[in-house]
Amino acid sequence: MDAAGQLPLRVGFVGAGRMAQAIAQGLIQAGKVEAQHVLASAPTDRNLCHFRALGCQTTHLNKEVLQSCSLVIFATKPHVLPVVLTEVAHVVTAEHILVSVAAGVSLSILEELLPPNTRVLRVSPNLPCVVQEGAMVIARGRHARGSETKLLQNLLEACGWCEEVPEAYVDIHTGLSGSGVAFVCTFSEALAEGAVKMGMPSDLAHRIAAQTLLGTAKMLLHEGRHPAQLRTEVCTPGGTTIYGLHALEQGGLRAATMSAVEAATGRAKELSRK
């Protein structure tokens, strides 16, 4: 028991892939949960070895996770999740808080596959959770209360930024932040290749491009300004930046980026309907 005489929180993971590993590592490193109180399940040892390296407990039985932990994060592939939920539904109790990070599986489907009144939440994470710089949103089911949402938010902030949103925003988040990682990488690559074209060595160009993205993001977040404000500060009359921005506008960067988020969001909604 802890200093307040309460039993320590036990967190379970059904599915032990990269996202589950990232969340577990964040929770443990931030001191939110002790490694010995984390239990993960997977069909084989291929991914469970990473949990063991963190000091966590592991099993091949999904129901054992439900029987041992009150907060359970389902991190399986989306098409596998309904099968897994059907398998463990008989051991779900009123004490459980169940969380899904599977893209495209709605709260209504989750609640339909689980016993009545089960407290269910959805989390949409993104890959930077691996380095504790994720952007995550939470949507709660009909029976989840604000206290469960706050508990989950507090835990997940060990992996980055986290906020509660209506479920309708989850697919948009997938298009903006989940797919957005690839969009940003494409832009970073293009920035570096422009420098390579002008004569800079590739390794150096890619490091500078990545650091430029990191520094810009920190300024936007820490100073709370709109991107247009920072862009205006960099853009002096007749200077280098305005010439570069003109070239980007001629290439349709802004419209293409908006279309990319729209296309990715549309696909996320399509997968949700399926």
Residues 26/77, Cβ–Cβ less than 8 Å: no
**Token pair belonging to 211:** 């650091």
Is the per-residue pLDDT at 262 higher than 80? Answer: yes
| Residues 29-56: tens digit of each pLDDT | 999 999 999 999 999 999 999 999 999 9
Confidence of residue 103 (pLDDT cuts 50, 70, 90): confident
Per-residue pLDDT for 66 more than 50?
yes
Of the ranges 172-176, 245-249, 269-273, which one carries the lowest mean pLDDT score?
269-273
Q: Is 32 annotated as a binding residue?
A: no
1: confidence class by pLDDT, cuts 50, 70, 90: very low
Residues 75 and 96: beta-carbon distance below 8 Å: no
pLDDT of residue 7: 65
Cα distance between residue 55 and residue 17, in whole Å: 16
Closest C-alpha among 98, 91, 153 to residue 125: 153
* Local structure of 72: helix, strand or coil: strand
**17 and 147, same domain (yes or no):** yes
Q: pLDDT digits over 110-149, tens only?
A: 999 999 999 999 999 999 998 999 999 999 999 999 999 9
| Residue 82 is labelled as binding a ligand | no
Is 218 marked within a binding site?
no
Residue 3 has pLDDT above 50, yes or no: no
**Domain's final residue, options 167, 188, 204:** 167
Mean pLDDT of the chain: 93
CATH number at residue 183: 1.10.3730.10
Percent of the chain with pLDDT over 70: 97
Provide the domain count of the chain.
2
Q: Are residues 39 and 151 located together in one domain of the fold?
A: yes
Amino acid letter, 183: F
The domain in which residue 129 lies consists of 11-167
Q: Are residues 208 and 146 in the same domain?
A: no
Q: With respect to residue 172, please indicate whether it lies within any of the assigned structural domains.
A: no
The answer to whether the annotation marks 75 as part of a ligand binding site is yes
| φ and ψ at residue 135, rounded to 5 degrees | -120, 110
Length of the chain: 274
List, in sequence order, every beta strand (DSSP E) within 48-151. 57-59, 71-74, 97-100, 119-124, 134-140
**What is the radius of gyration, based on Cα positions, of the chain?**
21
62 marked ligand binding residue: yes
Calpha distance 102→145 (Å, rounded): 21
Identify whether 182 is part of a domain. yes
Are 222 and 267 part of one and the same domain?
yes
